[in-house]
Every structure is written in C-alpha cells, then in structure tokens.
Amino acid sequence: MQPIDDVVLNFSPNAVVVMNIILGIVMFGVALDMKATDFDNIRKFPRSVGIGLLSQFLFLPAFTFLLILILDPIPSMAMGMLLVAACPGGNISNFLTHFAKGNTALSVCMSAISTLCAIFMTPLNFTFWGSYHPEVSKILKQISISPLDMATTILCILGLPLVAGLFIAEKRPHLASRLKDPMKKFSLVVFIGFVFLALVANWNSFIHYIGWVFVIVLLHNSTALATGYLGATFLNLPNKDRKAITIEVGIQNSALGLTIIFTFFQKLGGMAIVACWWGIWHIIAGLSIAYYWSRKEDA
C-alpha cells in the first residue's frame, strides 16, 4: 500500500507495543495520586465540571473543525488537530492549576472524569468530525479504522491502569505513597521520550514543516485555552474555577494522541508532527499562563 499522505511516519511496530505498555504504566502512576473521592467533587462544583467537560469534548472539537476549514492544512495535519482536540486533559494540568492558584480539586476531578470519558468520547469525536472533512474522510475510509478498536485501545492504556491505580491508592495507601514520586519522575521522562522519539523518527519532515506546524499549533492551542476561559466566564464562575477549566481544556494528553497515531496511523507523519509539537508547546503556553496568574494580586 502506498503512503496516503506526503508526510510519511517512520516508526517501528515493536516500538508501538512498548509505547502502549509504557503509557499504561504512566496512567497507573497518575492514578496513584488520585482518590475515589476526587470524583465526588462533581457535587461540589457541578456547573464548573459541566462547562469544563462540555468545553473539552464538545466545543473544542467543534472549534478545531472550524479552524481546520480556515487554515486548510494538509489532511494528515488536519487529522492530528482533530485527534489532539478529541483527547482528554494532559497529566500536568493539575500541577499547572495549582501553580496558577486555581481550583486544584476541580482540576483533578475534571482530569479523572475526562480520562474515563475519553474511552468513548475520543474515538467518537475524532471519527465524527473527521467524517465531515472530505479529504480526512477519504483517508479514514482507506485505512478502515474502527472506532471500537480505538476505544478498546484507549480502555487498555487509560481505563484499566486508572482503575488499578485508584484501587491501590484506596486499599494500599502506604504503597501508593511510596510509588507516587518515582512514578511522577518516570512519567516526565516517558513524555519527553515520546516527543523525542517521534521527532527523531520524522526529523526531515519536522524541519520541512516546522514553520507551518508552529502556526497551526499556536492557533489551535490558543483556541483551546480561549474555549475553556470563555466558557467559564460565560457562566460567571469564580476566578479559581476559570483558571482550572482554562488549563484543563488547553492542556491535552498529547502522549495518548501520539500512541494512537503510532498504533493506527503509521503512514501519517503529519499527525505525529502536530501532536509532537503540541506536546512541547502546550507546556510552554501552560507554564506562561500559570506564572502570569500566580503573580496577579487577585490570584
């Protein structure tokens, strides 16, 4: 089968299996820092959680589709944008919210719920919006990716490790306490490794497209941050909740996006380049916003 896009992804199938396993371990480590009571916070902040999840899984994918129509990137990059927008919040969103003096409890609650929702919402959003883009729709039909297959993969690398981590945190809190710090360091190293390997494997394509990708990701990430902030502002939520929702919607789990790309879309390097650069840029943007908010008098 000939490449169906002009940016061909180079990555070993064996590396894909390893990445799936490692991301599952990372999610297990993330869950060790959670408690079942984190989900109860939905009763404390019902409006905030509601608008946050709507911004995450409804408004952001819709605005991403509109941005794609305006920018008209090559099909694989459009697919990368749609996939990133369909992913749940990133693992560092809770730290950034705390740094920004936002509502950390709300951030943790949204992360937990969006991660579970992603099992169904990520493949649903990606295939739904992709089907409305003529070129993306052609590629999806040619590759014949089943949303059920994608949901099963996400369940294995997100859902099951999350449940296992929550179980250990509840039943073996001392063990979870000992494992939390090493797992956080491991998660950071793994994320950097994901981005580094994807860049190295597609270095020539990355250099060729970096100017265009920079613009795409800058505008896309700005759209994500604005979606969270404006949604929270529209409901006149407290300032701390606005910060949490803005960061939660603006920081996407690009490591999950890369893993899905390497598993199902190995001939579409444009997707990997977008997800890769997003993984770098959203940390820069998130830290910048968090630092700004942390210095404000009304923080």
Please check whether residue 4 lies inside any domain of the structure: no
CB-based burial, 31-57: b 16+ in 10 Å, e otherwise: bbbbeeebbebbeebeebbebbbebbb
CATH number, position 290: 1.20.1530.20
pLDDT category, 67, cuts 50, 70, 90? very high
Phi, psi of 101 (to 5 degrees): 60, 40
Please check whether residue 7 lies inside any domain of the structure: no
- On whether the CB atoms of residues 285 and 49 are closer than 8 A, the answer is no
Whether residue 273 has pLDDT greater than 80: yes
Please check whether residue 111 lies inside any domain of the structure: yes
Whether residue 8 has pLDDT greater than 70: no
How many structural domains is the chain composed of?
Answer: 1
- On whether the CB atoms of residues 68 and 270 are closer than 8 A, the answer is no
Whether residue 52 has pLDDT greater than 50: yes
Amino acid symbol at 274: V
**DSSP state letters, 218-276:** HHHHHHHHHHHHHHHHHTT--HHHHHHHHHHHHSB-HHHHHHHHHHH-TT-HHHHHHHH
Paired with 252 in beta bridges are: 89
- Give the residue among 204, 203, 224, 236 at the shortest CA–CA distance from 278: 224
| Pairwise pLDDT comparison (32 vs 191), residue with the higher score | 32
Please check whether residue 39 lies inside any domain of the structure: yes
Residue 274's domain spans which residues? 13-295
**pLDDT tens per residue across span 71-93:** 999 898 999 999 999 998 877 88
Report pLDDT for 296.
Answer: 77
Largest CA distance in the chain: 59
Please check whether residue 96 lies inside any domain of the structure: yes
Q: What percent of the chain has pLDDT over 70?
A: 85
Report pLDDT for 150.
Answer: 84
Among 175-179, 218-222, 290-294, the least confident range: 175-179
**pLDDT tens per residue across span 123-146:** 999 999 999 999 999 888 887 777
Report pLDDT for 1.
Answer: 34
Please check whether residue 5 lies inside any domain of the structure: no
Among 29-38, 57-66, 127-136, 161-170, the least confident range: 29-38
Please check whether residue 32 lies inside any domain of the structure: yes
Please check whether residue 150 lies inside any domain of the structure: yes
